[in-house]
Amino acid sequence: MTEQATPKTSYDVFISYYQNTGKDFAQCLKTGLTEFERKVFLDKDDIPKTVETDSDEFRKYIDNALRESTNFVLIMTVGFNKRKEIARELKLAFESGKKKFFMKQDDLATTDLAIEIDNKQIDLSKYEFISFTNETELLRKLVSALLGKIGQTKENMFVQQARRMITTEG
């Protein structure tokens, strides 16, 4: 099989999540942020279906998207800290100096926020994180955290849209 070049596209937000427990949260973020005209990378939506999951080509798409993203969002749900791919993405986010947003599901104990990177335990509870209980709250809190940090040229429109959404959806 000949290896295809992965296209370089810039993103406002890269979403890292555990498929088994964070898929719905990740999809909600992508949908909500896209409504605010933000370019969001979500692996299942933005990597061609012909690329095999867990292949080197799949990882190249992930790495390129992360490098080309302004912000890195980690959705911390049950089991996220046991996933090697999430640890790999987090390591790359730290190495590339991305602005990081750690979103912690309320059900997750702070003792479950340790993740192993390069045989070292990293305690994410020592970093600032934002707790959430459901998809709406996650989106509302992330939008609030992102205000002023993405798309300075359209911030007024972005702020207006965010306020309308927060008011109508809670």
**pLDDT tens sequence across 111-144:** 899 999 999 999 999 999 999 999 999 999 999 8
Instruction: List the single range of 3-12, 24-33, 107-116, 133-142 with lowest mean pLDDT.
Output: 3-12
Distance between CA atoms of residues 9 and 80, nearest Å: 26
At 74-116, the pLDDT tens digits run 999 999 999 999 999 999 999 999 999 999 999 999 889 999 9
Strands 114-117 and 69-76: unpaired
